[in-house]
Structure 1
Amino acid sequence: RPGRAAAARDLEGMQAAMDAAIARRRATGPGAVPDLMDLLLGARDPETGREMTDAELRENLLTFIVAGHETTALTLAWALYLCAFDQGVQARARNEAQSVLGLRAAGAADVPRLGYVRQVVEEALRLYPPGGFLSRTAQAEDRLSAAVIRPGDTVMIPVYGLHRHRKLWNDPDAFRPDRWADRAGIDRYQFLPFGDGPRICIGARFALQEAVVILATLLARFRFTAVPGRRPDPVMILTLRPEGGVWLEATPA
């Protein structure tokens, strides 16, 4: 299809850019503070001691770049959308952010003191998980209720439905960040925005930290309100995207 051909050209350009970056780093060596590329270049298989080839390095770097930007952006878009419709939640999160930050940008060291902002992010991830479904290939026979699962079967996990299941959540369709005040009271497998098990999102901790840092910085500086007539519909296109975008008015706080 024409779109696939265009995407292939774009992918070739991204691969070439990564190949050039890897070659430059091999030539110059690591910096004073190791970054992601340095860590990947220095990685060794614990059993065989094998290093990654340049092709493997390239694909890992592209995975981090491609998978790591849209999902966090979607989380922030949905979080701001939800805050725009609940000014009480937004004001509470803003007060916390301003008390910690003033008007400076947040950093990683601020995250432990931004507990309520984190609760807003987690509630946004529950209501609008960027990865709205997961799939796994069964390795062994199993049974799920009356269904027999055979090796090789694909099992689909509807994360969006799981996060709004009425037997798992009180008032599941409501935006209530306070439900995350007692994180230990929420079962591990009823909240899967990053998946779980051996294939859990490799950037889960970083993504959550990044979202808290950016959201706190924005809320400390701006007040967000919804634009009438621009309510987005969640559409599943691999990720859960707001159809038409999230339209908000931002005014200085």
Structure 2
Amino acid sequence: MQKDILKEISNHILNISTIQRAENNKRFFRCAPGEYGEDDIFTGLTVPQARRLLRVYKDLSLSNTEKLLNSRVHEERLLALLILIENFQKGNKKKKEEIFNLYLKNIKHVNSWDLIDLSAPKIIGEYLKIKYSLQSKNCSGVKFLKKIASDKNSEGKNWKEKLWLKRIAIVSTFAFMLKPFKNDYAPDIIFEVLNKIFSEKDEINSHDLIQKASGWMLREYGKRVDEKKLKQFLLENFDKIKKQRTLLRYSIEKMSKEERLFWLNK
């Protein structure tokens, strides 16, 4: 019966997917040899189509959802994450913890920037908001994210695995910037995570996808929390940030033209 439902889902996805979109996705998600999406398989399902499938399969058991998340097919992993998010948001405290632990257990399968951006804030970030006080840099929740972001956590992992773990740590902090804030300190956790990354020398820390995620979260911080604190962070870390032009451009995107020119020419 379990295999039947998973086969049904696989066939359902294939039946409404398009070959042309699958080919486009292979290029968009960098699936050429040596690139970050090299091993991914695409059917050509769109995100709106996946959300419509969620309505059909939202009650899939956790064990089957985990199997779906282990699929080599990108869109099957996407649907699995949509199911996990749906059940996390509607679940009680015990269910949320169960889904959080399942996510961590299978974190190596959350291995594309779109899957991470969709799920990390809504599962990792939201769970940490519930579980921990998030009142200081010594809080267990902050230490958890810094550990994920750390090069020490990446020993024995290939460059793509390290890339995705760091992006998960960065993007998870978006949950702390959403009002109502957990407390005054929680939104500032993005600074702690980035300081951890800045302090280490792995080349992956300056990868385009890390710079984009970092700049995006800083931009959101400036827009949603405190632009003055964002500028202070940029100033204090400018010797490192000025070498990462993508990060800088993303982080200052919502500033005035004059301010953007100031930072770009600094």
Q: TM-score range by the shorter chain?
A: under 0.3
Structure number with larger C-alpha Rg: 1
Name the structure with the higher helix share: 2
Name the structure, 1 or 2, with higher relative contact order (CA <8 Å, separation 6+): 1
TM-score by length of 2: 0.26
Name the structure with the higher strand share: 1
